Amino acid sequence: MNGRFHIPPRLPFRIETHGHGSQRQKLTDIFVQIGNQSFLPLPALARHYSLQGDKPFATGNHLEQINGLGSMAERWAKNLGKMTGRHDLSRHTLLPFRGVFGRTTGLLTRRRRWCPLCLYEDVESGGRSYERLIWAIDVVQICPIHHVAFEDSCRTCGKRCTREMAIRQVSGLCEGCGRWLGREEVDCDFEDDDPRYVFERWIAGGFAGILDMPDAEVENLCLENISLMVRAGISTVGDGKAVRFGVACGKQKSVISGWQSGQVVPSLQTMVSLSWRFSVPLNAWLSGRTQAWEDASLRASPFGMTRSNVRRSPRKPDLEKLRRHLTVEVEKKAPARSFAEVARGLSYDPSFLRRKFPTLARAISKRYTHELLLAAASRRQEYQELIKSTAAEVVKLLVKAGKVPSRRSVEAMMSERGVPVRRADYHLLRAAIANRQRR
């Protein structure tokens, strides 16, 4: 080297991140995209760049925490930043909100979820679909833009995502069958003015508001703001009396004084319901915007949808009544529900019910799994029929065009038509080709 020719160091990967504010992409999706674009298997990529030890996808690794606000998120943001030359990747996690959510547990959902309409609109507007950070926040159950419930299972193959990231994940596609998860239309299960739906919209809007805060405001977020808001609430809503404010919150005076002094911080669940109860936006609570109290109004307590309603330690459970309910559940004709769903319906912790009624619990779970399996089998059969008919059609077209149909060319044309074929189904393509040649 004579020093005249100098090749600048190159970065291994180049990325374009998507979205801002509440629409920002999540870090796991950025990682998935890097893998997809470079045709590298995700576990190998994670191992090579020391993102997550030897077995990055081992069970027990809470991969959802990559989007969170702990050391795992820090490490991934830093290392992915080095790989791509980007130093702003922590904004695709919850790290910027550590000041207020640092002590909150259960902030992120364990499973990958998505809004099919957002994915659809990304592509319709000429971009590529990507997965958003807000989809990973557990208390948010519906899309803040489209107000439809997030989904976690594929409508084509029925595969339910149980983790934030799967080994063969492709951004926006099902990890089971590889089909796109976007849809043009989605049914909404709720009437517009159903109070539970209004409440869910409030939560989704609240978190979107937090993620949409300008950077300068985010930097000033701290827990003292919450006690400031409590003090402002006492002087406006409670006419200066902590007791009166406590009554409005449904809390004891001692709890209120804990908040007031900042010694105790209300849980996220409590903050969400306070925000709803007084219609004071969540971002006002976190940033200490006390003027928001001027527009406050008192609403009925939220109900039904929040998990805090589940009684963890029932005081005097009526065991006979519970047994009757569970027996009905086993015997009834209507579609089976999962045990967790049944328990939620009874407002009991599933593990408590399982302890008390092991046989009934097993029967309920078994029935539900059986129905799931049946449904999956019938979807699979339906899909195979679709493969057969499309393959026959494609083969006919190829022959008409004077080409010799091969497994590869048939598969390519089928995936263009939105019917991707798995290796296990190749025999159907071969059958369609053989069938044609015989005639």
Residues in a beta bridge with 142: 149
Shortest reach from residue 163's CB to Zn ion, in Å: 15
Position 154 contacts Zn ion (CB under 5 A):
yes
Whose Cβ is closer to Zn ion: residue 177's or residue 399's?
177
Shortest reach from residue 75's CB to Zn ion, in Å: 30
Considering only residues 146, 196, 323, 388, which one is a binding residue for Zn ion as defined by CB under 5 A? 146
Shortest reach from residue 131's CB to Zn ion, in Å: 11
Whose Cβ is closer to Zn ion: residue 157's or residue 282's?
157
Whose Cβ is closer to Zn ion: residue 64's or residue 151's?
151
**Torsions phi, psi of 160, nearest 5?**
-100, 130
User: Segment contacting Zn ion (CB under 5 A): 63-71, 154-162, 249-257, 366-374?
Assistant: 154-162
Position 143 contacts Zn ion (CB under 5 A):
yes
Shortest reach from residue 143's CB to Zn ion, in Å: 3
* Residues from 170 through 189 that contact Zn ion (CB under 5 A): 174, 176-177
Residues in a beta bridge with 348: 311
Dist. CA 30–CA 42, nearest whole Å: 12
Contact (Cβ atoms closer than 8 angstroms) between residue 259 and residue 227: yes
Contact (Cβ atoms closer than 8 angstroms) between residue 399 and residue 405: yes
Site for Zn ion (CB under 5 A): how many residues?
A: 13
* Residues from 411 through 430 that contact Zn ion (CB under 5 A): none
Shortest reach from residue 376's CB to Zn ion, in Å: 11
Whose Cβ is closer to Zn ion: residue 135's or residue 245's?
135
Shortest reach from residue 298's CB to Zn ion, in Å: 31
Position 139 contacts Zn ion (CB under 5 A):
no
Dist. CA 344–CA 336, nearest whole Å: 14
Burial category of 380 from C-beta neighbours within 10 Å (exposed 0-12, middle 13-18, buried 19 and up): middle
Shortest reach from residue 142's CB to Zn ion, in Å: 9
Whose Cβ is closer to Zn ion: residue 145's or residue 198's?
145
Position 147 contacts Zn ion (CB under 5 A):
no
Considering only residues 51, 80, 94, 118, which one is a binding residue for Zn ion as defined by CB under 5 A? 118
Give the list of residues 6+ apart from residue 119 with CB closer than 8 angstroms, or none. Answer: 129, 172, 180, 181, 182, 183
Contact (Cβ atoms closer than 8 angstroms) between residue 208 and residue 147: no
Position 22 contacts Zn ion (CB under 5 A):
no
Shortest reach from residue 204's CB to Zn ion, in Å: 10
x-or-dash pattern for Zn ion, window 60-79, by CB under 5 A?
Answer: --------------------
Position 271 contacts Zn ion (CB under 5 A):
no
Shortest reach from residue 133's CB to Zn ion, in Å: 13
Considering only residues 142, 157, 284, 286, which one is a binding residue for Zn ion as defined by CB under 5 A? 157
- For residue 348, the tally of other CB atoms under 10 A from its CB is 20
Dist. CA 344–CA 367, nearest whole Å: 18
* Residues from 97 through 116 that contact Zn ion (CB under 5 A): 115
Considering only residues 62, 147, 159, 196, which one is a binding residue for Zn ion as defined by CB under 5 A? 159
Shortest reach from residue 178's CB to Zn ion, in Å: 7
Position 391 contacts Zn ion (CB under 5 A):
no
x-or-dash pattern for Zn ion, window 348-387, by CB under 5 A?
Answer: ----------------------------------------
User: Segment contacting Zn ion (CB under 5 A): 78-86, 132-140, 169-177, 270-278?
Assistant: 169-177
Report which of 62, 84, 59 is spatially closest to residue 73, judged by C-alpha positions.
Answer: 62
Position 119 contacts Zn ion (CB under 5 A):
no
Shortest reach from residue 174's CB to Zn ion, in Å: 3
Binding residues for Zn ion, per CB under 5 A?
Answer: 115, 117-118, 143, 145-146, 154, 156-157, 159, 174, 176-177
